[in-house]
Structure 1
Amino acid sequence: MRHSFIQGTVLCTLAAGFIGSLGAMTSAYADETLSYQVLKEGEPIGFETVEITDTPDGYTAKIKTRTDVKVLFLQFQYGHERTEIWRDNQLVSVDTDTNDDGSPYLYKAEYDGDCYEVAGKRVAKRDACDGAWPLTLWREDITAKTSLYSVINAEPYAVTTRKTGTETLAIENRETPATHYVMSGDVDRDLWYGIDGKLLKTSFKRKGYDIDFVRVDAKNLQK
């Protein structure tokens, strides 16, 4: 009887541990919204949001970006919306709609494993089997990719990304632990990811100006 009781207790404990681990894995992309402020030379010029919604076999990410900036006497506006469907942590499809200062772009990419086909408005139809993703920086595992493509017009990019170490970022005036990567090649980006594997900050140059996307909802990641 004692042996049965101990055995049952151990099995229950193991089961609870397994269920807890399973819950942690499946909640890695639980419903949430990542919010970013876009800065030019330290001044706010727009925002980006990543709305993540669970599905029975994966999740959907809806990305919205808006910027409005004045350079000298010229006003530039950018609007972008993108829907990514992920299944079993694999990208299944991407739909984009972009207004790049009055120039509209629209495309859809559909995947079968590492192979995909992309076509749309002002976007030439092409297919490839290089496992490329769009330049969707919110996930840390994009740093393992060497083939990417533009979220605007699906232009292919060849990149390499190296990890430079761990740092502490000042976000919303609080210290936030981060892993720093440097992406180079057809795209140059400094990337910082939080302990949740999601983007905290990216920095790059655009027309000679410093541009930053800084996450503003990261209080639960801060020290």
Structure 2
Amino acid sequence: MKSLVLAATCSLIAFSGLADAAIPAEPRGGETIQFNVYRGNSEFGTHEVRFQRDGEELVAEVSVRLRAGFGPVTVFRYEHDSVERWRDGQLVALEGETLKDGNRFPVQAARNGSGIVSEGVLPEGERHTEELPRDIIPSSHWRGYEEDLGRILNTEHGDAMPVTITDMGMEEIEADGGTIQARRIRLEATLTVDLWYDENGFWAGCEFEARGQSIRYVRQANPAA
């Protein structure tokens, strides 16, 4: 089930390979990253990340709504809502809930001393608590991933997810009503996800294969505009 959160929840870091881009350390607040999500050529739902400022903290609100069906009959439904709080480029707290296959999975994580203490519910229904490194990055994708990362925080179940990150270079993708140049990052775990980040460091695209289906994210507008 770790693959599902990685897919469905398809962070701004100055990638060393983006030497020609002026990448901000993090969003200023007030920006929104909004994707239309497609399964094959059919509309599948939406994925939004909204940024606000609360004093010294950056607040990122994530909302995912995915649905597949035949007319009014729903055969697949996925909803994810979470709120991340960041200070000085590090995660301070995260609270969220995922609705998947009729089951709800709450997650809470907060900084505690030298690390992040995360509480969640595993796919089998077992509650767990896990202490993670202070600099752990959540699997919400908007902040990006450095190549030396070995694991990230699973925002669906609250556990550590082993990953391999590969920088695939620059290429042209569909976004913002046209095409843009973006850097492609491949994230490999139980599922392989390709992610794209524009010249300003904002998350710009996402593609993966899940359950024999091709899923594609198309960004609707440039958040920096």
TM norm structure 1: 0.78
Aligned residue runs from structure 1 range 74-113, under 5 A: 75-112=75-112
Judged with a 3 Å threshold, the aligned counterparts in structure 2 of structure 1 residues 60 and 36 are, in CA distance, closer, same or farther, namely: same
Is this contact kept in 2: 1:47–1:65, CA < 8 A?
yes
Residue 205 to residue 105, structure 1, CA distance change in 2 (3 Å): same
Q: Deviations over 1:85-113 (max 9, x none)?
A: 00111110110111112110101011247
Structure 1 distance, partners of 2:223, 2:27, is 17
Query: Deviation of residue 74 (structure 1)?
Result: 6.4
Tell me the residue number matched to 1:14. none
Note the C-alpha offset of 1:42.
2.6
Secondary structure in structure 2 of the residue aligned to 1:133: coil
Residue 192 of structure 1: how far off its partner (Å): 0.5
Identity, % of aligned positions? 21
Q: After TM superposition, which residue ranges in structure 1, 4 or more long, deviate above 6 angstroms? A: none
Equivalence for 2:4: none
Unpaired stretches in structure 1, ≥5 consecutive residues:
1-23
1:217 pairs, out of 209, 214, 221, with 221
Match of residue 149 from structure 1: 153
Q: Is the 8 A contact 1:113 1:131 kept in 2?
A: no
Confirm or deny: 8 A CA contact 1:132 1:145 kept in the other structure.
no
Are the counterparts in 2 of residues 46 and 67 from structure 1 also a CA contact under 8 Å? yes
Please report how far the alpha carbon of residue 154 of structure 1 lies from its aligned counterpart in structure 2 after TM superposition: 2.1
CA positional deviation for 1:43: 1.5
Letter in 2 for 1:127: E
Distance 1:113 1:51, change over 3 A: farther
**Deviation for aligned residue 1:171:** 2.1
- Greater helix proportion: 1
- Separation in structure 1 between the aligned mates of residue 194 and residue 69 of structure 2, nearest angstrom: 24
Tell me: CA distance 1:113–1:145, structure 2 relative to 1, closer, same or farther (3 Å).
farther
Structure-2-length-normalised TM-score: 0.78
Partner AA of 1:43 in structure 2? S
**Superposed displacement of residue 198, structure 1:** 1.5
Structure 2 letter corresponding to 1:95 = E
Between Structure 1 and Structure 2, how many residues are aligned? 197
SS in 2 for 1:116: strand
TM-superposed deviation, 1:41? 0.9
TM-align CA RMSD: 2.5
Equivalent position of 1:54 in the other structure: 53
Partner of 2:39: 40
SS at structure 1 position matched to 2:183: strand
> Any idea what the Cα deviations from partners look like across 1:168-192, whole Å, max 9, x if unmatched?
1122551211011111133411111
